[in-house]
Structure 1
Amino acid sequence: MFYKDGTYHLYFQYYPEGNQWGPMHWGHASTKDLVHWTEHPIAIYPDTVLGYIFSGSAVIDTFNVSGLAVDSTPPVIAMYTFHKRPGDIQTQGISYSLDGGMTYDFYEDNPVLPNPELKDFRDPKMMWDGTQWISALTVGQEIAFYGSENLLDWTLLSQFSGEHGNHGGVWECPELFSLTTEEGVRKDILLVSIGSGAPNGGSGTQYFVGHWDGTTFTAEHEDERYMDWGRDNYAGVNWWNAPTDRGKKLFMGWMSNWEYAQVVPTYKWRSSMTLPRELSLVELDGQFHIKQQFRLDGGNGFQTNLEPKMGLRGANTFGINFSAEPQWSLRLTSAAGDTLDIWTSVDSIYIDRSKCGLVDFEPSFKNIMSGPRKTTGAGYEMYIDVMSLELLADEGLTVMTATFFPKEPFNKLEFEGLKEGTLTSLRE
């Protein structure tokens, strides 16, 4: 993902011949307001020799350190994982764009990183650390950091792992970046997704707060920290070059879970992305944590006061901002009897989708989700978008995302413990 000239570009794993996993391409979509999206032709196709195109990243080579520019147009450099079958051999490749990311040319000296005899060697995420280009890759259950001066030739700097974090599944989709508190304290952050073993089952994304010294990342805590405690936010990363306030980043994740991603009851499409979220850093009881806030630059429709009991009409595409008692509960119901329940205790937040429409396609889909509260702050943001719930609770410190498949749209909302709030349609 990258931002250029007023447009946010998103590339995603895509198989054009079906809605289950297949030979991976890079699909492409873009937006100017983070709400209305335009899908474009496939950006990068599999290579007949090196293999499918797995996850990666894209940056703008402003100063043409790669030497791939033509005239004065800075190239967009995409780095990704080739996955070759048979043998499941993974290497890293480069493609570059001279038209702002719409089409890509294959770099003639691929792969730029051959496989060092590892089974899982994947998902390069590039960043500029102030002195050099860095690419973070997963190698099994570790993160390898490579450095480069020209985005083409890469040298191994160090590896991070070992005793740190959740090792319940293969590590995937890393990212190294920095955040700064309002008080000016800067910390380096390492995102690491896991394919299985997340707290509520299946896949999830953990993060580490620490320090990058130009060669090595050192975590400063031992506890596990997660970007999202729901079951349906995985492999998220930040936009390159997105306009944000100083010290913040703009994040988006894949809204699904590998325990059931290929069997969810959708047909012409399968899976979607979360809403964009702005990340900031806050200090709480001497520890630093990521805070999230929705970032939508357009698309708000009608607005009304949120009531303890109210009817809903039309498409279920709305957001609610509210304050509530420390312990509260919210139920959404449909005329078909679908129910979606969200509630809190003193120390946790819960989501129950077990009675919300189609749930029997995978046994664990009906399990109640829970997330620990770091504080009982009064501020909440939540979006419902037809078949998804995204909740930023307690001022964005506890986050939960869940998908569901109701038989009919919700037509009633019941809220116990509400203080005040507003409901805003996403549809204009």
Structure 2
Amino acid sequence: MATPVNNLAGQASLVKRLGWTFLLLCCYRIGVHIPVPGVNTEALKAFFDNMSNTLLGMFDLFSGGGLSNVSVFALGVMPYISASIIMQLLQVVLPDVKRMAKEEGQAGRRKITQYTRYLTVLITLVQGFGIAVGLESMLSPSGAAVVLHPGWEFRFMTMITFTAGAVLVMWLGEQITERGIGNGISLIIFCGIVVGIPRSVMQSIALLRTGAMEPVVAGAVVLLMAVVLCAIVFVESAQRRIPISYAKRQIGRKMMGGQNTHLPLRLNTAGVIPPIFASSLLLFPATIGQFSSNEYVKLVADFFSPHGIMYNVIYVALIVFFCYFYTAIIFDPKDMAENLKKNGGFIPGIRPGERTQEYIDGVLSRLTLSGAVYISLVSLLPMLLIAKFNVPFYFGGTSLLILVGVAIDFRNQIESHMISSQYEGLMNKARKTGRM
């Protein structure tokens, strides 16, 4: 066991990291409430009240309410996620980019991160221009203009503001990952969903009071949410354990190996990445269409309506694709098989080498398919709820999936940090004992 001093040091380090995480998330939430100059906030609020359960409502969900405020953080982390998707796809398509990521080590990964940042700026400029043009043509239900002084000056200022905000959000996410606990980008999305839940509860209560939602429907929705929440927790914690045995080897005078263990593979290997990536790709063109006044662009936006069949078909197809794509990036059966063979490990009944690789690949493919079906079913739930019962996005399956997935990952990060602190304490104690 680690000494009390070492335990206190580990707890102090954890408290420091949690403090950094909380502080940076507070900075993000402050920026969400700082509006872009030149916007009529009252007219904008009235406009978004009528668009709460549309595609713009979903985008506002991922931006933590920044889009409805047209704040400096209106685009949130979506441009960075889109840029990350493009760079990961380029690693598969372009050999030079793949070599940079695989063979050049830390220097190559830094280059890819730098290119991702440049691409984020480019995507933000395009989205910022489209939103600025769309804002100029928007009117509130009472007929009030959203933009007080339209023109190129407003468009240029909005583009620069959105770009600076997106870069700052990207930096905050990276700082949370480096200095805090958990994945910064996922925690920013998590934070945006959590702060929107009270507002959604109030909207649902208002629907009940006005009779727009029946009490039986509200009770059924709450019950369905509880069932989905339990199912998500169960699946996110589920594992397929492949038994591993290590042959006995004599190294010097010591006999090593001869133990049995297992290789844990999660049922949902890709986690919450597929629905986030799929939503990002669909929201990018569709949001531009929602803000545009061009009739053809509006037709395209209607084609991508969340209530439409084609939107859901493309959404599910993208989820399945990113489940397999992301799993292929983070897990390489060939490397697993080679590492097992080098360390004298084998799967009982399976020959080491190529047979082991094929076995692991087959198990991983079946798990990925199961995870893709599970994520698709959970992600389609909000569309069905909104179409039938006028339920806010925050009560849908995608929101619950992100909340539970990020919360579990956050808990695992805390546990890993505590175990690492105790291990360091044991190592320091062993070094001191060796010197005496």
TM-score normalized by the length of structure 1: 0.24
Structure with bigger gyration radius: 2
With CA pairs under 8 Å and 6+ residues apart, which has the higher RCO, 1 or 2?
A: 2
Task: Indicate the structure with greater strand content.
Answer: 1
TM-score normalised by L of structure 2:
0.24
More helix by share: 2
